[in-house]
Amino acid sequence: MKIFRFDTEVGHQLTAFGSHDVVLSRILRTTDRVQIGCIRVQPDGVIALHKAVGPQLMLVVQGEGWVRGREDSRTPVHAGQAVYWKDGEWHETGSESGLTAIVVEGAALEPERVMPEVDPNGEGEGT
């Protein structure tokens, strides 16, 4: 058995695109171009608006925050929810109180095959 770290002390600050108060800790990169990381958005932190470089799945594991595309309206997200962005899709993530998420990036992501989708009207968690 081996034990590894992915806490904030071994991560690095994300500052691209004007992002602030965000730490990324790499977890895994595979030979078939899949990578996994842990994102920690500190209170009032923002991963600023940018294009997805390939399909991305953000699994919120702790806390709550918001996501948006190029529009001004923010969609709330919380622990237990996952957000999927297609290649080239503009997106931004932030949190007033802080959130922790696992981010998976890779061409073969198809979350709709295994996870229920949240109702777009915010009424329930989907089926």
Q: What is the pLDDT of residues 66-76, one digit of tens each?
A: 999 999 899 99
Indicate the domain borders of the chain. 15-109
What is the mean pLDDT of the segment spanning 21-36? 86
Contact between residue 96 and residue 65 where contact means Cβ atoms under 8 Å apart: yes
Question: Which candidate, 104, 109, 115, places its Cα nearest to that of 39?
Answer: 104
Q: What is the pLDDT of residues 113-125, one digit of tens each?
A: 888 888 766 544 4
C-alpha distances out from residue 17 to 25, 107, 108, Å: 18, 23, 26
pTM of structure: 0.84
In whole numbers, what is the pLDDT of the chain averaged over residues? 90
Output the pLDDT for position 122.
Answer: 57
Output the pLDDT for position 65.
Answer: 98
| 15-109: in CATH 1.20.1260.10 | no
Question: Which candidate, 65, 74, 68, 72, places its Cα nearest to that of 40?
Answer: 65
